[in-house]
Amino acid sequence: MRVIKRYVKLYGSFVRINLMREMEARGNFVASCLVILCFPMFSLIFVGAIFSQTKNLNGWSVNQYLVLVGSYMIVSSLVFTIFFKNVFELPEYIRKGQLDFILLKPVNNQFFVSARYVSFGEMMQGIPGAVLIFVGISGGNLSIDWWRWLLYPVFVVCGVIIAYSTWFIMTIPCIWWIKMDFAEFFFNLFDLGRYHPDMFGGFAKTILTFVIPFGVVAATPADLLLNRLGWLSAIWALVLAGGLLYISHRFWKFAQTRYFGASS
């Protein structure tokens, strides 16, 4: 309990420092928030393009799809707010030898490299995401049980953990191959979260659910709201989140035994 309290306090300090830094350049902060608020435009264009060609995409109506895209944007806003700058900087720590100093700090180093920065501007993505969900629900006249709203954040957190762990696992090989940089590819792969695995036939569905599980990050919370979530899918999302987080931790520990430092 004391350990948890210590980490909560530490994270509070990170948040405070980052907020102070963002507020140093308020104009830039407001400008980035405005730019990020434009982000849903791309999603709307995408949804509009699909449903201008068909009324029903393998069992998905436009309103149901809006709920999926809205959920994707909420998961995305959390992933980018909490982890974007942190995981993005990891290859730089390795290249510049800064990881040497991080490993010496009296704190869990995965926590430190994953939580040191907070990108507040990215939080803005969540607002249009929530709006899309409500538009989808009211447009489709969907009635949602109260307990689904209560469980919704649980599966959103699962999506965030799946995305973070996958990105972290993808970034760790930088310890061996210092030129490797997966950020751009993570963005591309994470973008797959706006699709539901059920929209595709066999092969693509399997890949999006099991091999590169970005199809699960937003689909599970959206399915929960839309009353489409089966027990197996719910359990799979929970197992995947826990399993990937554990694998990322073990892989990070293993990679450290192969790290020789780059500062010299």
Specify the residue, 32 or 61, whose C-beta has the smaller distance to another protein.
Answer: 32
Out of 2, 5, 53, 257, the residue judged to bind another protein by CB under 8 A: 53
Q: Establish if 204 lies at the interface with another protein (CB under 8 A).
A: yes
Is residue 219 involved in binding another protein (CB under 8 A)? no
Q: Mask 153-172, x = binds another protein (CB under 8 A)?
A: --------------------
Question: In this structure, are residues 164 and 111 in contact, taking their beta carbons and an 8 Å threshold?
Answer: no
Helix (H, G, I), strand (E, B) or coil at 57: strand
| Contacts (CB under 8 A) with another protein, residues 91-150 | 92, 96, 119, 121-122
Please tell me the number of Cα atoms within 13 Å of 200 on its side-chain side: 14
Residue among 1, 201, 232, 257 that touches another protein (CB under 8 A): 201
Which stretch, 143-151, 159-167, 205-213, 253-261, contacts another protein (CB under 8 A)?
205-213
28 contacts another protein (rule: CB under 8 A):
yes
User: Binding marks (x or -) toward another protein, 56..75, rule CB under 8 A?
Assistant: -xx-----------------
20 touches another protein (CB under 8 A) = no
Nearest to 65 by CA among 252, 195, 202, 171: 195
| CB of 75 or CB of 152, closer to another protein | 75
Contact 94, 113 (CB under 8 A): no
Contact 75, 152 (CB under 8 A): no
Q: What angle do CA 116, 33, 160 make, to 5 degrees?
A: 50
Using the contact rule CB under 8 A, the part of the chain among 128-136, 146-154, 177-185, 240-248 near another protein is 177-185
DSSP assignment of 65-118? HHHHHHHHHHHHHHHHHHTHHHHHHHHHHHHTTHHHHHHTSSS-HHHHHHHS--
Give whole-number Cα distances, 31 to 21, 22, 40, 214, in Å: 15, 12, 16, 30
- Given a contact cutoff of 8 angstroms between Cβ atoms, the answer to whether 244 and 160 are in contact is no
Q: What is the CA radius of gyration of the chain?
A: 19
Q: Closest CB to another protein among 72 and 152?
A: 72
Q: Does 206 bind another protein (CB under 8 A)?
A: no
Residues paired with residue 60 on neighbouring β-strands, in sequence order: 57
Residue from 2, 9, 26, 179 touching another protein (CB under 8 A): that is: 179
Q: Considering the complex, state which of residue 183 and residue 234 has its C-beta at the smaller distance from another protein.
A: 183
Positions that interact with another protein (CB under 8 A): 21, 25, 28, 32, 35-36, 38-39, 42, 45-46, 48-50, 52-54, 57-58, 80, 84-85, 88, 92, 96, 119, 121-122, 177, 179-180, 182-185, 187-189, 191-192, 195, 199-201, 204, 207-208, 212
